[in-house]
Amino acid sequence: MNKKDFPACPVELTLMLISNKWKILIIRDLLEGTKRFSDLKKSVTNISQKVLTSNLREMEENGLLTRKIYPEIPPRVEYTLTDVGYSLEPLLNSMDKWGTWYRNTII
């Protein structure tokens, strides 16, 4: 994607990069450290293998995470957040804080 393909609005750009619940949950889990594909599949409940693969590829293309493939049989693949991916931690912390407030106040 070229720089000109990204939206000018910073909020829209952020939403484009983490636009669905799967990406947010993947980031949440990778904030704890490097994870294998199978670990992500277990921790991000109700996500299909196809959808997880698609989201991981998009996130890698956008520079949010890196993928390392080990030449083993069967192949082992690990995912790690980049510095850009880790920079989303305050955003997720704010979402956690707000969700907790909403649960305790409104629900």
| pLDDT one-digit tens code per residue, 6-28 | 888 999 999 989 989 999 999 99
* DSSP classification of residue 28: H
Q: How many CB atoms lie within 10 A of CB 40?
A: 21
Between CA 104 and CA 3 the distance in angstroms is 41
Are the C-beta atoms of residues 59 and 53 closer than 8 Å to each other?
no
Domains and CATH numbers, the chain: 20-105 (1.10.10.10)
44, exposed or middle or buried, with CB in 10 Å at 0-12, 13-18, 19+?
Answer: buried
Q: Are strands 65-70 and 35-36 parallel, antiparallel or unpaired?
A: unpaired
Whether the link from the prior residue into 90 is cis, omega within 30° of 0, is no
Pair of tokens at residue 96: 């956690």
Specify the pTM.
0.89
| pLDDT one-digit tens code per residue, 49-61 | 999 999 999 999 9
Q: Return the pLDDT at 99.
A: 95
| pLDDT one-digit tens code per residue, 61-103 | 999 999 999 999 988 999 999 999 999 999 999 999 999 999 9
Q: Return the pLDDT at 33.
A: 98
